Amino acid sequence: MAETALTTPGQSPVRTAGLKGVAADWSSDQRAFKNVSWGKAMMWIFLLSDTFIFSCFLLSYMTARMSTTVPWPNPSEVFALTIGGQHIPLILIAIMTFVLISSSGTMAMAVNFGYRRDRVKTAVLMLVTAALGATFVGMQAFEWTKLIQEGVRPWENPWGAAQFGSSFFMITGFHGTHVTIGVIFLIAIARKVWRGDFDVERRGFFTSRKGNYEIVEITGLYWHFVDLVWVFIFAFFYLW
pLDDT, one tens digit per residue, over 19-57 is 776 666 555 555 555 666 778 888 999 999 999 999 999
CATH code of the domain containing 205: 1.20.120.80
83 and 2: one domain? no
State how far the Cα of 226 lies from the Cα of 111, in Å rounded to an integer.
16
186 and 73: one domain? yes
Percentage, residues of the chain above pLDDT 70 = 81
Give the mean pLDDT of 201-214: 61
112 and 159: one domain? yes
CB 179 within 8 A of CB 133: yes
- Domain housing 111: 37-238
E strands along 106-161, which residues?
Answer: none
Question: How many domains is the chain built from?
Answer: 2
143 and 163: one domain? yes
Nearest residue to 218 (alpha-carbon basis) of 198, 202, 238, 199: 198
Question: What predicted TM-score, i.e. pTM, was given to this entire model?
Answer: 0.81
133 and 199: one domain? yes
- Classified as helix, coil or strand, 156 is strand
pLDDT tens, position by position, 168-182: 999 999 999 999 999
165 and 150: one domain? yes
23 and 96: one domain? no
Residue 41 Cα distances to 24, 68, 113, 129, 225, angstroms:
19, 41, 22, 23, 15
pLDDT tens, position by position, 180-203: 999 999 999 999 898 887 777 666
CB 92 within 8 A of CB 143: yes
6 and 78: one domain? no
* DSSP secondary structure letter of residue 71: P
22 and 85: one domain? no
31 and 42: one domain? no
105 and 148: one domain? yes
29 and 104: one domain? no
